[in-house]
Every structure is written in C-alpha cells, then in structure tokens.
C-alpha cells in the first residue's frame, strides 16, 4: 500500500500526462475528484497532528487583508509604510517569521493588514511554513498580492492559493447539494450542462462517497466547480495585485509588464519611495465593499457623523452585533430609511440586507429596560 503522498503524486502525474479530449474528459474529471479527496485526507491528517492549524491571528478592525507574496518583494516595508506597525524588513529572505498585523484607516473603516512570511513554491504542500501562512490567508477578507518586477510570476502565486482551496475573484458555484442515506442520486439542472452532462456529475459525486441525495445545478458548472462544492472547504476571496519596486521600471518596462499581467490591472507602487500608496489603499477600501449605516434613536435625528461600518451583504443581524448587547437581546424590529427600504420607515427583521447609507432605528420588545436605540 503506497503512502498518501505517493498516491497524490501518482494521480497528479496521471492528470498531467493524460491528453485532454472528448474521450478522456470524464476520466480526467474523475481523477481530479480522486485527487481532491486525497488532499482532503491529507488536510485531515495534518490537523490531527496539530499541524496546518495556522497561526492564531486575532482579527480586529472591520476587515482583514492578507499580504501575499514571495520573500523579499517588500511586504514588510509596505506594511510599515501603510500602518503604524513595526514590521522589520531587511535585504534578505525570511525576515518575517510570524504574522505581523497593522491597522490602516479608510473612510471611517479600520482595516487590518497582515504581513506574513513569503510564500515559496510548494507552499500549499507545506513547504516554508506554507500551510500555516495559507490558513491565515483563508481567514482574510481580501488578498493583496504583492510582486516585484524581478519575479512577476503571479500565476504561480495564485496556484499556491488554489492548491490550498482558496478561490480568487470567483463567486461560489451555484450548485446546491443535499446528502441523504437512501434513494439514490438525483441530478437536475435549471440550465443546459455542457461540462457535466451524461452521468459525469454522478460519477464525480461517487468519488466523494456520495451515493444518495440530490445535486441541483443553477449554472453550467465545470468539473472543478462541482469538485469545489463537494469538497466543501473552499473559501472565495477577492484579490488585488500591486507591483512593488516599480520605481526601478522604465515607462516601457512598466507597459510591458502591464501587458503581461492583463486582464489583471495592478497598482504600480514603490513602498520605499511611498508612491502609489494612496491609490492602493483606495482600491483596498473599495474592494472590501464597506457600507455605512446610521443609527437613529426613535424620535431623534440620526447621528450622521458616526456611521456603523459594515460590509455589503450584511444584515440587521450584523448591525446588532455592533450595538450594545441589550439591543440584540431585546430586538423586536428595525425601521429602515434608505436604499434598502421599499418605503421610508419600512419595518424589517434581522435577516434584512442593508445598503450603504441606510438609516436604521432599532425597536425593542415592550417592557425592556430601554425602548429603543
Ligand atoms: N527598490 C525598492 N526596494 C524596496 C521597495 N520596498 C522594499 N524594498 C526592499 O526590498 C527588500 C525586502 O523588503 P521586505 O519588506 O523585507 O520584503 P518582504 O520579505 O516581502 O517582507 C528590502 O531591502 C527593502 O528595502 C521598493 O519599493 N523599491
Ligand atoms: Mg517580510
């Protein structure tokens, strides 16, 4: 019986050496599924040994940004420039051996920036503390890739994240899975499937040990997307790219690099000379999709100077978590003025999704100590 690593290597090899065509398509799909299952097993074992759990990073601020790049691209220098944190930097690799947090402000929101050890090739397989670093990346709200003009290999960097189950600038596939113990497997779809037609989906599900239940496709998903949903431990993160040390580039070198990186549009910065940094912070702020919500105590005007900063998609529930716990405990209904309200003063429940610049009055159950926020 070969070891787990050997099995993984063997399947990876077979995928690499099998030519992709109509006849091998399903076979490759099943190999990919097999590989995903073996990798899940490897994760489980690593966790059992206490490895792969990552650093304990206490999140703070309204959102967390993970700084991802190879060693010596200037991550620590950038953190020091953007935040008050003291991240030591030096002209050799691996100066940062732990995760260093710093805080920056953007339009009323505070954003935690995490400087971490540089990724090295093979990080997702555990090289150079890669697994620990990647588990910190998983918990971030945004990835900021940093590359330098000498090693502009964004693809390799992104592949390390892919290998660790992190999906960049993608939304979760619209596939709904229900497992059960009996009744066989039902596959249905609301659109025509071009990648997973003719029993392919069922065969891939079986590789994951799923023999009963239902899979509903709400989009024309690929094999990889189905595998992601079956594996179940993927995270979907937005990402930005910055090219550091860009003061070293001539205008034509810069244009050439920009063309190579297309369709990604990098921010060209110099952490050393502090150029392009304001624009970068703006990009970060927009990418995090903050919204500002104003709380209005009943019968009084809202406090327009002190918004509660939330993220797009956050609900009244999320707002309550930011207010005194008493309000959360005794919450009855919320009244909304603004873009998310169908009419001014609409009453909504905890699940209501808020919009930027909404005004919210929290009403609490009668007989509670205070009647409202
Ligand atoms: N030319 C240039 N060098 C930089 C810039 N930013 C950082 N460096 C240098 O690159 C080296 C590595 O920086 P560091 O921040 O430690 O990189 P890290 O390993 O990614 O954290 C140091 O010698 C820095 O002074 C920059 O914008 N331009
Ligand atoms: Mg560093």
Report how far ligand 1's centroid is from the alpha carbon of 95 (Å).
11
Token pair recorded at residue 114: 């995490």
Closest residue to atom 11 of ligand 1, CA basis: 91
Range 258-266 average pLDDT = 93
Tell which atom from ligand 1 comes closest to the C-alpha of 77: 15
> What is the rounded CA–CA span in Å between residue 68 and residue 134?
9
Decide which of 227 and 106 is more confident.
227
Q: What is the CATH number of the domain that holds 153?
A: 3.40.50.300
Range 34-46 average pLDDT = 88
Q: Which of 75, 86, 89, 249 to mutate to test the pocket of ligand 1 (most atoms within 8 A of CB)?
A: 89
Other beta carbons less than 10 A from residue 107's beta carbon: 12
The domain of 204 spans 4-51+173-231
Report how far ligand 2's centroid is from the alpha carbon of 299 (Å).
52
Question: So what's the pLDDT on residue 54?
Answer: 44
Closest residue to atom 19 of ligand 1, CA basis: 72
> Band of the pLDDT at 48, cuts 50, 70, 90?
low
pLDDT 10s digits, 301-354: 998 888 899 999 999 999 999 999 999 999 999 999 999 999 999 999 999 999
Question: So what's the pLDDT on residue 49?
Answer: 63
161 & 261 share domain: yes
Contacts for 25 with CB less than 8 Å, ≥ 6 apart: 200
Domain membership flag for residue 369: no
151 & 243 share domain: yes
**Interior CA angle at 168 toward 164 and 170, to 5°?**
120
185 & 280 share domain: no
Q: Return the closest-CA partner of residue 18 out of 33, 9, 28, 3.
A: 28
Q: Which residues surround ligand 2, an ion (CB under 5 A)?
A: 75-76, 95-96
253 & 133 share domain: yes
104 & 220 share domain: no
Range 182-197 average pLDDT = 92
207 & 79 share domain: no
Three state DSSP letters for 177-200: EEECCCCCEEEEECCCCCCCCCCH
Question: CB within 6 Å of ligand 1 — which residues?
Answer: 69, 71-77, 89-91, 95-96, 118, 244-245, 247-248, 270-272
Report how far ligand 2's centroid is from the alpha carbon of 148 (Å).
13
Question: So what's the pLDDT on residue 95?
Answer: 45
247 & 356 share domain: no
Taking 50 as the threshold, does the pLDDT of residue 96 lie above it?
no
Share above pLDDT 90 across residues of the chain, in percent, rounded to a whole number:
65
Range 31-48 average pLDDT = 87
Report how many domains make up the chain: 3
Question: So what's the pLDDT on residue 127?
Answer: 75
Taking 70 as the threshold, does the pLDDT of residue 90 lie above it?
no
Mean pLDDT of the chain: 88
For residue 117, give the ligand nearest its CA. Answer: 2
324 & 357 share domain: yes
pLDDT 10s digits, 120-172: 787 877 777 777 788 889 989 999 999 999 988 899 899 999 988 999 999 99
Taking 50 as the threshold, does the pLDDT of residue 92 lie above it?
no
Question: So what's the pLDDT on residue 87?
Answer: 58
Domain membership flag for residue 373: no
Taking 90 as the threshold, does the pLDDT of residue 86 lie above it?
no
242 & 222 share domain: no
162 & 278 share domain: yes
Question: Are the CB atoms for 157 and 71 separated by under 8 Å?
Answer: no
Closest residue to atom 3 of ligand 1, CA basis: 245
Question: So what's the pLDDT on residue 337?
Answer: 97
Range 281-305 average pLDDT = 91
276 & 160 share domain: yes
Question: So what's the pLDDT on residue 247?
Answer: 97
Three state DSSP letters for 244-300: CCHHHCCHHHHHHHHHHHCCCCCEECECCCCECHHHHHHHHHHHCCEEEEEECCCCC
119 & 266 share domain: yes
Domain membership flag for residue 78: yes
Report how far ligand 2's centroid is from the alpha carbon of 289 (Å).
28
> What is the rounded CA–CA span in Å between residue 54 and residue 66?
14
Taking 60 as the threshold, does the pLDDT of residue 207 lie above it?
yes
Report how far ligand 2's centroid is from the alpha carbon of 75 (Å).
5
Sign of CA dihedral 337, 338, 342, 347: negative
Lowest average pLDDT, out of 30-34, 159-163, 214-218, goes to: 159-163
For residue 277, give the ligand nearest its CA. Answer: 1
Lowest average pLDDT, out of 58-62, 145-149, 368-372, goes to: 368-372
> What is the rounded CA–CA span in Å between residue 227 and residue 169?
18
Question: Are the CB atoms for 300 and 370 separated by under 8 Å?
Answer: no
Return the DSSP state at 355. Answer: -
């Amino acid at each position: 019986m070969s070891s787990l690593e050997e099995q993984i290597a063997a399947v990876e090899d077979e995928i690499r050496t099998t030519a992709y065509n109509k006849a091998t398509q399903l076979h490759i799909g099943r190999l990919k599924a097999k590989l995903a299952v073996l990798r899940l097993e490897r994760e489980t074992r690593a966790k059992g040994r206490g490895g792969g759990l990552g650093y304990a990073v206490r999140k703070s601020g309204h959102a967390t940004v993970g700084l991802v790049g190879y060693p010596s691209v200037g991550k620590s220098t950038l953190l020091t420039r953007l935040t008050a944190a003291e991240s030591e930097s030096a002209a050799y690799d691996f100066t940062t051996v732990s995760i260093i947090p710093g805080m920056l402000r953007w339009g009323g929101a505070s954003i935690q920036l995490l400087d971490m050890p540089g990724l090295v090739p093979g990080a997702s397989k555990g090289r150079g503390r890669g697994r620990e670093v990647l588990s910190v990346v998983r918990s971030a709200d945004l990835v900021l890739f940093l590359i330098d003009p000498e090693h502009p290999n964004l693809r390799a960097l992104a592949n390390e994240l892919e290998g660790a189950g992190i999906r960049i600038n993608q939304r979760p596939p619209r596939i709904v899975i229900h497992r059960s113990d009996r009744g066989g497997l039902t596959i249905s779809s609301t659109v025509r499937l071009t990648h997973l037609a003719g029993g392919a989906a069922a065969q891939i599900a079986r590789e994951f040990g799923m023999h009963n239940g239902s899979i509903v496709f709400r989009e024309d998903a690929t094999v990889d997307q189905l595998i992601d949903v079956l594996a179940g431990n993927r995270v979907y993160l937005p990402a930005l790219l910055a090219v550091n040390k860009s003061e070293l580039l001539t205008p034509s070198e810069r244009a050439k690099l920009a063309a190579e990186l297309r369709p990604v549009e990098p921010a060209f910065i110099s952490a050393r000379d502090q150029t392009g940094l304001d624009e970068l912070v703006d990009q970060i702020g927009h990418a995090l999709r903050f919204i500002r919500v104003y709380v209005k105590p009943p019968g009084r005007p809202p406090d327009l100077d002190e918004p509660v900063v939330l993220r797009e998609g956050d609900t009244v529930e999320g707002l309550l978590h930011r207010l005194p716990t008493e309000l959360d405990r005794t919450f009855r209904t919320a009244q909304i003025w603004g873009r998310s309200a169908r009419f001014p003063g609409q009453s909504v429940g905890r699940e209501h999704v808020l919009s930027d610049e909404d005004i919210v009055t929290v009403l609490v159950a009668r007989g509670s100590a205070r009647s409202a926020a």
